[in-house]
Structure 1
Amino acid sequence: MEEEIKFIIDSTKEAMNKALSHLEKQLVNIRAGKASPSMLGSVMVNYYGNPTPLSQVANVNTPDGMTISIQPWEKGMIPEIEKGIHQANIGFNPMNNGESVIINVPPLTEERRKDLAKQAKAEAEEAKIGVRNDRKNANNDIKDLDVSEDMKKNLEIDIQNMTDEHIQKIELVYAKKEKEIMTV
């Protein structure tokens, strides 16, 4: 019985942590005004007939806060990289100088910042829903246990505390990202 209880608590905590780490991954993709190689994470390049992530055919870095530089390992890949960036539809206009592809990241307008903040809030809400669903699943598992009612109540309180803790972490992650987005 003790093992079942430990399993329910551990698997619930793991599921809630996954919701939090998924949120963090999603928020990385929301740009906050300064250039970052992760902005091109969704770009796929046609590499000898195979769609390949940009990071596997070129070195992507940011020489300054407003520029992304893409140095392909083969010069013949420059047109394919430009095409991949256009197809990814991320709002960037790549330029090439024969050696590399350069993207100037335009500064965000106030309206765009608000849209990005809304997008971040939606991601945070999704994570909260995931945590609440994990709580519900755990509580259902607890109801099926063959233990006293007091024990079930105590376990439900523990699960609720874990839920509150994770919701608070989600709020902190969101608040940090919103501040990053809204800072000019």
Structure 2
Amino acid sequence: MTDNDVQYMTRTASAEDIDEILRLNREWWESNIGYDIPRMTEVFPSPGEEYLMFNFNGHPYFNMREKVALWSYYRAREDFVGRPDVRIMRLEVRGDTAWLACEARIDEIALDDGEHAPDTRNTLLVRATEIYHRDNGDGLPQWRMWHTHISPLPPADEPRPGFGDTTEQRGLGWVPWQPLPEREA
């Protein structure tokens, strides 16, 4: 994903604010590769007592200690590395608060016995809403993600009720204010 792919609409944000929020978004999604806990924690408030996540697994996590425990749990049990392809659909920045909506494709890669050669196992299609505040958790005016809600997308070929189009037809991250992607014949 490049910053040019962002279909954001914001009225009051500086270029520096937008760049920082997009950087945090990239760090968050890329830290998911191999459950990179130190990289992940830099995105969120410290100490993060008021942080809240609705995780893809369906459960809530209420602070950074719980989020680190979750990632430690998965890191010890999982043998895959997820490769996210994230498409930002909207970014709104208003004063010291911002929200970002995106869709992502994550190809889970299993590692084989000792060689670490990738072998694609599964593809996840997810969507997320992220809320940022210009507060690092200690009161300093630094952007951090304070909430995220991640949930599955419908199957890529499932028609959208009322319209009949599918995620596969629209393309990941499509929004009505951009043209539909060109279809190969």
TM-score bucket of the superposed structures, by smaller chain: under 0.3
Q: When the two structures are superposed, what TM-score results if normalisation uses the length of structure 2?
A: 0.27
Q: Which has the larger radius of gyration?
A: 1
More helix by share: 1
* TM superposition score normalised by structure 1: 0.27
Higher relative contact order (CA 8 A, sep 6+): 1
